[in-house]
Copies of this chain bind each other. A is one copy, B any other.
Amino acid sequence: MATIYDVSQLAGVSLATVSRVMNKNTNVSEKTKQKVLAAMAELGYRPNTFAQSLASNCSNSVGVLVSQLDGPYYGPMMAEIEAALRADNRHVIIAVGHSDAAQEIDSVEFLLSKGCDALILDVEAISDEYLIKLSKSSTPIVLINRYIAEISDCCIYLNNELGGYMATRHLLDLGHREIAYISGPSKKHDAIERLEGHKRALAEVGISYDPALCFEGDYKEDSGVDGMNYLFSQNKTFTAVVCANDQMVSGAISVCLERGMKIPQELSFVGYDNIPFARYVSPKLTTVNNPIHEMGKMAALWLLKNLYKKDVEVANVFEPELVVRNSAIRI
């Protein structure tokens, strides 16, 4: 493999000049530049990334830590992050935290040890303190789906409370008054916030929140199944169910269909996230849009702006939007 030395020899210039051409920062005459470029082309020269990183202490890589890679949720986010960073010739290194504090910390250390310039984190179990401390170290971090007041500048998040409110409000507007809720895990921030929104909507019309009509799931399809079975076992009446994500709706609806119920005629459902499949299941899901791909893109842009000094606009907080389809009807 040709080195920068070979290029300088062939072009008849010094090492410094070759470096100047590559990093296009200082003045080089057009003629010299062309000579160097020609030499590079002739030799098929590629700068050695390892040496560049060593000398500049910059790897042009960003570590992305997510809870999981399978499932419908993180793919779109990763896609946007990859695209935005790739367009600026940076690469992304992935790691998985499995929503477990020890594994998440381990993953952060792993990414750091690999020399990432920055980290994009979608973590659930790591404590605020750890993240605050981490953000003060030399490696910048961006948090997706999480708000920590002390480091709010590097947080990209959705107004989950509002989303939870919108879901329930929609059902109330359709005349529903007995509304069950299948929640996400109570240790996850977004699950708590969505439930808060649900409660606020109920309170707004003077309905008191009934814990017996609430089941705590884990965001997976199976817990939608469990939740539905639990709700039916309560011997309480309800005309609608809000689920804290679309996957649990899908599990919940499958239980109803197996019992021969007609959806949405006998029971209305509202989901959350608007995952791609929400449009193709039957009935098509009424759900709250979670602009996860936009947040991924924004996290990448944040780094481009703050770390790599590109001139781009960034936003921190995103608003949910209700997507009305066919799974919830007027009572």
Contact = CB atoms under 8 A, between A and B. Distances in A.
A48 B250 CA distance: 48
Given A221-B280, A279-B221, A280-B250, A94 B94 contact: yes
State the number of copies, please.
2
Contacts of A76: 69-70
A291 to B, nearest CB: 13
A278 to B, nearest CB: 10
State the main secondary structure of chain A at its contact with B: helix
A230 interface: no
A59 interface: yes
A188 interface: no
Contacts of A199: none
Interface string A73-108: 011101100110010000111111000000000000
Interface string A21-55: 00000000000000000000000001011110110
A267 to B, nearest CB: 14
A277 interface: yes
Contacts of A253: 282
Nearest to A109: B46
A276 B95 CA distance: 22
Contacts of A92: 93-94
Interface of A: 46, 48-51, 53-54, 57, 59, 61, 68-72, 74-76, 78-79, 82-83, 86, 91-96, 110-111, 113-115, 221, 247, 250-251, 253-254, 257, 276-277, 279-282, 284, 293
